[in-house]
Amino acid sequence: MTDLSEEQQRDLEAAAFRRLVAHLRERSDVQNIDLMNLAGFCRNCLSNWYREAAEADDIALTKDEAREIVYGMPYEVWKALNQQEASAAQRQDLKTTSQSE
């Protein structure tokens, strides 16, 4: 494996994060519940992790600010434009997935 400096590793991780966020913004057709059922995390989880990282560095960031960073717009706007009602099957899958963890 290539030896990376801490700075190189941080920069690559940051680039991968930016690419993931851009991808999730482009794929608004993929619902958060689908992400949760498949991968065990969603856009909201990602924004929570971002906020927790900010707090660990004593950076004040609200839940809404962190979500806007991930969604690329206020969360309520994104929901109005993109969120669909979860089907009974999606809700059941989430319940089953949550219980198995």
Residue 87 belongs to a domain with what CATH number?
A: 1.10.3340.10
Contact by Cβ (8 Å): 65, 55: no
Global pTM value: 0.87
Contact by Cβ (8 Å): 60, 49: no
Q: Which residues, in sequence order, are CB contacts of 64 under 8 Å at separation 6+?
A: 74, 75
Choose between 1 and 17: higher pLDDT: 17
Any domain includes 1: no
Choose between 74 and 91: higher pLDDT: 74
For residue 84, CA distances in Å to 47, 55, 73, 87, 99 come to 20, 31, 17, 9, 24
Any domain includes 67: yes
Residue 98 has pLDDT above 90, yes or no: no
